[in-house]
Amino acid sequence: MSHKGWSSICLCWLFVCLSLPSRVFAKNFEIQVHGSETVAPFRTMLELHTNMALRGTTHTVDEVLRTRHALHETIEVTEGFTPWLETGVYIFTSWRSGDSWQWVEDPIRPRVRVPES
């Protein structure tokens, strides 16, 4: 596929991602700081993020489950599309003592940077 073809696909994908409700881009459980480099085109990066809330709520309030000692596992899959565009998909899960693993959400994170050229 030509450079122009990839650029058109990437711009369409960016438009679709930016048109999604803001909840899709919400982060749960963690703060991430990304470097300035993006994943290389046609490459996939797989990461596992783990954290635990040592302090937090101890009871369910207004349908929000307790957070104290909750373990969170997040799988992140990031695909590079161009030297300046990547998209990550997250699979957020949570576990609390006495409960089973629970799916939380699957947000999508597009990321662009200014090309070096």
- Nearest of 63, 44, 52 to residue 96 by alpha carbon: 52
More confident call, 23 vs 87: 87
- Nearest of 25, 90, 94 to residue 56 by alpha carbon: 94
Domain spans of the chain?
Answer: 3-112
Mean pLDDT computed over 5-30: 55
**Residues 81-108 pLDDT 10s:** 999 999 999 998 888 877 788 888 888 9
- Helix H or strand E segment including 110: strand 108-112
**Residues 26-43 pLDDT 10s:** 345 666 777 778 999 999
